[in-house]
Structure 1
Amino acid sequence: MKQTVTKKFALLGISSCYLLTSCSVEESQLPKPNIIYVLADDMGYGDVTAYNPDSKIETPNLDRMAQQGVRFTDAHTSSSVCTPTRYGILTGRYNWRSPLKSGVLTGKSEALIPTERTTVASLLQQQGYHTAFIGKWHLGWNWQLKDPEKAGGEGWDAQDFDNIDFSKPVTHSPNDLGFDYAYGHSGSLDMAPYVYVENGLATAIPDSVSENTGKYSWWRKGPTSSDFDHEDVTPNFFRRAIAHVGQQAQEDKPFFLYLALPSPHTPILPTAEWQDKSGLNPYGDFVMMVDDWMGKLLASLEENGIEENTLIIFTTDNGCSPAAKIEELTAKGHYPSGVFRGHKADIFEGGHRVPFIAQWPAKIKAGLVSDETICTTDLMATCAEITDYQLADNEGEDSYSLMPVFEQAALQKPLREATVHHSINGSFAIRQGDWKLIMCPGSGGWSFPRPENKAVIDTLPPIQLYNLKEDPSETQNLQAQHPELVAQLKTLLTDYILNGRSTPGEPQANDPIKGEWKQIGFTKVSN
């Protein structure tokens, strides 16, 4: 049994990684690993010291994790904002193929992923795993309404929460997408309703309305349950995750845990023991708090004797948000995006290049650094290869397995043919080798020049081309000097869009836009 094997090694005081690599156990006899995927929220590439030696934020536990596993230097989220990245992680499909073509969902939005689509969770569940979700969902689920004829608006601050019947189970929940266990809240921690839902049922009916308008700790006005304490949400999720690890370690089947943190996204709420620890501002304190909890989670693997054959991944859903008060951080010498341009929401590197660390002692050599370009959509193909699952043509259409890098195989060619990036307003970019083509004149997001800044945007070339090897900060637009390369990359991007996939296989259809999301200003991607 998987858990028993690693526990025996631990009791003997012998590293199972040593035993395995010295051929005491055939690699083909390795039990399926536990898989833990930790997704932080709005944390920048330059916030982790392992990625940015000049970082003013101390992250000793993530640094140690990098030393004990593989650190990817060129990892990207499929989008530079929350919901679409989460869609890509769980489906292995680019987010803009879904009905959501730009922007994010609210805490009231209906489910984005149809129940018939394969997810990482349903794949692993089929392969004998116990699957669990703990944390921030932000992919929509269907609240039951008291009066379906009065569904109300989809906006951020709609005042019709009274029509939600919190006593009835939600439908199209994580449990309907392959998770045996699910506990979390519907949107970001600044999006009402502030209610925990466990296996489809609210853990408490909202009995008050809360709102916060602090500089860092603001959240939107909305119904709040008595057991929902904004400051305790991140610790609560970690405590539950650690307890879950302990419980599953006693079982004879492998487990998959998707731990989706609401932090360090707003509201920025470091608990008392972490306040003022960074010497920067509350955001720096909050990042340090997340790092500390990661240390406790990693320690729980060792304490339960399952560290050797557990694959644990830490990454984040996009770059640092301006809500972190980036100007305050930079004034003190801390750059959340490191050398990269832009931040959350942008098509520039700071919007979607993120820390990505994987630790798996039985498979991954300690201290490995990989410069392969990878994407958060790659989890599905990785899990498929780990469990000998053959993806169908309509599964994981944009997912490449990371196993060749984990195994340190000599790659004869890049892991991915190319990688597509996407911004909050639906702008595209495509990356191949050293080159990145951006299909818009500005940031496509929240940094200068913003799409709505027409006075500036109208003076810029409609597209941008950068050589990231020579110009990682994207300062020199070379589109005029390389028209053939522009045409080549544009053709490849068009093929990826029209074919419904970027991996080998039969062409697939992209999803049409959904009406309720179009009403709040989301734009359609031509297919």
Structure 2
Amino acid sequence: MKKNILLALSLALALSVTAQKKPNVIVVLADDIGTGDLSYYRKLHSDKIVLETPALDQLAREGMIFTDAHAPAALCAPSRYAIMTGNNCYRSYAPWGVWGSYQESAVKPDQLTLGKLMKNAGYSTAFFGKWGFGSDFYEKDNPNKIYQGSRQKIEMDVDIRQIAGNGPKQNGFDYSLMFPSGIQNVPYAVYENEKWMPLESNSKIGFISQENMTKIGVTLDKEEGLGDTAWDPHNMGPLLVNKAVNFIEKTDKKSPFFMYYCSLAVHLPHSPSKELNGKKIAGTTPSAHMDMIKELDVQIEMLIAALKKKGEYENTIFIFTSDNGGLQIKETAQSGHKSSDIYRGGKNQPYEGGHRVPFIVSWPGQIKAKSISETPIVGLDILGTLAAVTNQKIPEGQAVDSANLLPILLRKSKSPVHPYIISQSGTSKEAIITQDGWKLIIAFDKKDKSDQIRKPFALYNLNDNLEEKEIENLINNPKYQSEVEALFEAYNQIRTTEKATKI
């Protein structure tokens, strides 16, 4: 009965939305941003604000923030797969990521994606920024064969002049400005509509070495390898946002657009621009990391300004979140800035700081300003929500883990949208399952490729131990073994069930 009522409510809300002009939609997926990186969130727990984020704070004030939002993983690649498809990370062929640009894409050709969903609804679709979950390139000397990389060596036998498949176009995006691995890994090049876009008039495809990067003050985060000889990560953020602004300026006001903007900030290497939108960036905060947070905020400012100039801000849904929790950078921490806010840990870790992220939705005239939701949600709920906004029914077997947040956003419901919150860490291979504040961390055997060997690792009651103090780890307390067993059994059932069901 409850399910039927919620279904009827969602249908009524969707019909009321489609009766009006379809809203534009911008989804911003930031890279490595924690809740404490946004001053609006930080002010919920502290009066000490080291870095203000005025543009993001404006979005938060004008819309709804979620205080219990989670990335699908504490690491970027698995999260990006999950957000793009609405499926939990473990449903891909490589549940833990991380995919190199030359490796098989995690997204299968028959899977629904954010781009396909919005294109089906009649939207002009665009992808900007970091792709991050694999795609196809041809072999350098064989244009009929797809190169398959191992990420175990410097790879030079790749033709990086174009995306050969499994890129934005194949996933429903009409236009794209794509960085296959952001700014942190090969190929160090930019692709416009899947073709290499030379950064300078004299650009060539060449070898990007640490020696050359040192000359421009950059320490590569990952491997040396192929790229544009004019590659300079200091310039990539401005390039990205200016292309996005140009896209907004050229949109046809008669038809809606969908933009998926995957920022390069604030992933390593931290290489802030000197200036952006008339504001000085590099060297204006206590660390290069925080300079990148400032640069990201200015990018959001530019997107908002472009919408207002076009007269489209009032008719645009703006969603902001992050692919995982914040970074733990020594210089940043010494300044008093806390990327993870009050939470333990950060990126790649199973603690709340690794996967709890900001989640903001602004929709003028529809979402009440200064709204706060404590409903536990996951980043992959974006797809289910946009399906409701565009009055689409998700086909069976697609986006099986994505919930519809529209009733919450429009203040028609406060009911939970997930029986459990499922997430995972990164390279350390731990899974997380949370229900009613009880959080179980499950350790996987790293040598077991089948992922069948699992063991409960930690139990925290977030209702009174939100900081996950280790002294209050209840995993070995006999009094709480029923909670351990129930959550462990639930997780095992979810992972082993053959029939795809919503979580």
Does TM, normalized by the shorter one, top 0.5? yes
Matched, 1:40 2:27: no
The residue type equivalent to 2:150 in the other structure is E
Contact 1:49 1:57 in 2 (8 A): yes
Secondary structure of 2:67 counterpart: strand
The residue type equivalent to 1:484 in the other structure is S
d(CA) in 2 for partners of 1:193, 1:331: 34
Give the match for residue 281 of structure 2. 274
d(CA) in 2 for partners of 1:332, 1:216: 23
d(CA) in 2 for partners of 1:416, 1:317: 19
Shift of residue 501 of structure 1?
A: 7.2
Contact 1:48 1:55 in 2 (8 A): no
d(CA) in 2 for partners of 1:208, 1:200: 21
Give the match for residue 62 of structure 1. 56
The residue type equivalent to 2:67 in the other structure is T
Shift of residue 56 of structure 1?
A: 1.3
Matched, 1:430 2:436: no
Matched, 1:477 2:473: yes
Shift of residue 168 of structure 1?
A: 4.9
The residue type equivalent to 1:331 in the other structure is Q
Shift of residue 97 of structure 1?
A: 1.0
Secondary structure of 2:65 counterpart: strand
Give the match for residue 112 of structure 1. 106
Contact 1:382 1:401 in 2 (8 A): yes
After superposition, give the CA deviation of every residue in 1:104-158 in whole Å (9 maximum; x if it has no partner).
Answer: 11232232211111111101111111111010101111001134689574116x2
Within a 5 Å distance, the mapping from 1:186-225 to structure 2 comes to 186-204=180-198, 205-211=204-210, 212=213, 217-219=219-221, 220-225=223-228
After superposition, give the CA deviation of every residue in 1:344-398 in whole Å (9 maximum; x if it has no partner).
Answer: 0011111110111111113111110111111011011101111111112211111
Relative to 1, partners in 2 of residues 1:200 and 1:153: Cα closer, same or farther, differing over 3 Å?
A: closer
For this pair of structures, how many residues does the alignment match? 457
Relative to 1, partners in 2 of residues 1:125 and 1:433: Cα closer, same or farther, differing over 3 Å?
A: same
Shift of residue 27 of structure 1?
A: 5.6
After superposition, give the CA deviation of every residue in 1:505-524 in whole Å (9 maximum; x if it has no partner).
Answer: 9xxxxxxxxxxxxxxxxxxx
Give the match for residue 266 of structure 2. 264
Give the match for residue 489 of structure 1. 487
d(CA) in 2 for partners of 1:100, 1:392: 24
After superposition, give the CA deviation of every residue in 1:224-279 in whole Å (9 maximum; x if it has no partner).
Answer: 2145431111111111111111112x34221110010111101101112212212x
User: Unpaired runs of 5+ in structure 2?
Assistant: 1-15, 199-203, 275-279, 448-454
After superposition, give the CA deviation of every residue in 1:275-325 in whole Å (9 maximum; x if it has no partner).
Answer: 2212x2111111011111211111111111111121011111111234xx2
Contact 1:46 1:55 in 2 (8 A): no
1:291 to 297, 311, 319: 297
The residue type equivalent to 1:85 in the other structure is S
Within a 5 Å distance, the mapping from 1:116-155 to structure 2 comes to 116-147=110-141, 151=147, 153-155=149-151
The residue type equivalent to 1:233 in the other structure is M
Contact 2:116 2:173 in 1 (8 A): yes
Within a 5 Å distance, the mapping from 1:63-462 to structure 2 comes to 63-147=57-141, 151=147, 153-155=149-151, 158-161=153-156, 163-204=157-198, 205-211=204-210, 212=213, 217-219=219-221, 220-226=223-229, 228-248=231-251, 250-272=252-274, 273-278=280-285, 280-322=286-328, 325=329, 327-411=330-414, 413-425=415-427, 426-440=429-443, 462=456
Relative to 1, partners in 2 of residues 1:359 and 1:501: Cα closer, same or farther, differing over 3 Å?
A: farther
TM-score (norm 2): 0.86
TM-score (norm 1): 0.82
Secondary structure of 1:482 counterpart: helix
Relative to 1, partners in 2 of residues 1:240 and 1:500: Cα closer, same or farther, differing over 3 Å?
A: farther
Shift of residue 29 of structure 1?
A: 2.3
Percent of pairs identical after alignment?
30
Give the match for residue 29 of structure 1. 19
Shift of residue 491 of structure 1?
A: 2.1
Q: Greater shift after overlay, 127-136 or 489-498?
A: 489-498
Relative to 1, partners in 2 of residues 1:134 and 1:469: Cα closer, same or farther, differing over 3 Å?
A: same
Secondary structure of 2:350 counterpart: coil
CA RMSD of aligned residues (A): 2.4
Secondary structure of 1:184 counterpart: strand
Relative to 1, partners in 2 of residues 1:47 and 1:150: Cα closer, same or farther, differing over 3 Å?
A: closer
